Amino acid sequence: MKQTKLVRITDIKRDAALLEEAGQIIRDGGLVVFPTETVYGIGANGLDADACRSIYTAKGRPSDNPLILTVPGRDAVRQAAASVSPTAELLMKTFWPGPLTIIFPRQPQVPDAATGGLDTVALRCPDHAVCRAFLKAAGVPVAGPSANLSTRPSPTTAEEVMHDMDGRVDMVIDGGPCKIGVESTIVECNDHGGVTILRPGGVTAEMLHTVVPYVRMDTHLVTGQGTPKAPGMKYRHYAPAAPMIVAVGSVEAVMAELKQLYEEARRDGKTVGFLVSQEVGACLPDAHRYVWGHHGDAEALARQLYTGLLSFDTDKVDLILAEGIDSEGLGAAVMNRMKKSAGGNVRFV
Which of 53, 23, 200 has its CA nearest to residue 117?
53
Coil, strand or helix at 161: helix
Q: In degrees, to the nearest 5, what angle opens at C-alpha 155 toward C-alphas 152 and 157?
A: 155
Q: Which stretch, 21-29, 112-120, 121-129, 139-147, contacts Mg ion (CB under 5 A)?
A: 139-147
Ordered alpha helix ranges (H), the chain: 16-27, 49-59, 86-95, 112-115, 129-138, 158-165, 205-209, 219-223, 251-267, 278-281, 298-315, 330-341
Sort strands 32-34 and 41-45 into parallel, antiparallel or unpaired. antiparallel
Q: Which is nearer to ligand TXA, 77 or 247 (CB)?
A: 77
Q: Which is nearer to ligand TXA, 31 or 247 (CB)?
A: 31
Q: Which is nearer to ligand TXA, 184 or 311 (CB)?
A: 184
Query: Considering the complex, what minimum distance in angstroms separates the CB of residue 27 from Mg ion?
Result: 24
Coil, strand or helix at 59: helix
- Our finding on whether 204 is near Mg ion (CB under 5 A) is no
Query: Considering the complex, what minimum distance in angstroms separates the CB of residue 62 from ligand TXA?
Result: 10
Coil, strand or helix at 36: coil
- Our finding on whether 337 is near ligand TXA (CB under 6 A) is no
Contacts (CB under 6 A) with ligand TXA, residues 89-108: 99, 101, 103
- Our finding on whether 145 is near ligand TXA (CB under 6 A) is yes
Query: Binding string, 36-75, against ligand TXA, x = CB under 6 A?
Result: x-xx-x-----------------------xxxx-x-----
Which of 225, 277, 223 has its CA nearest to residue 247?
277
Q: How far is CA 261 from CA 115, 304, 320, 326, 346, in A?
A: 43, 23, 10, 21, 13
Report what 67 binds from Mg ion, ligand TXA, none; CB cut-off 5-8 Å by kind: ligand TXA
Which residue type sits at 73?
A: G
* Residue in 38, 87, 115, 146 binding Mg ion, rule: CB under 5 A: 146
Q: In the complex, which residues of this chain contact ligand TXA (CB under 6 A)? A: 36, 38-39, 41, 65-68, 70, 99, 101, 103, 115, 118, 120-122, 124, 144-146, 183-184, 186, 198, 229-233
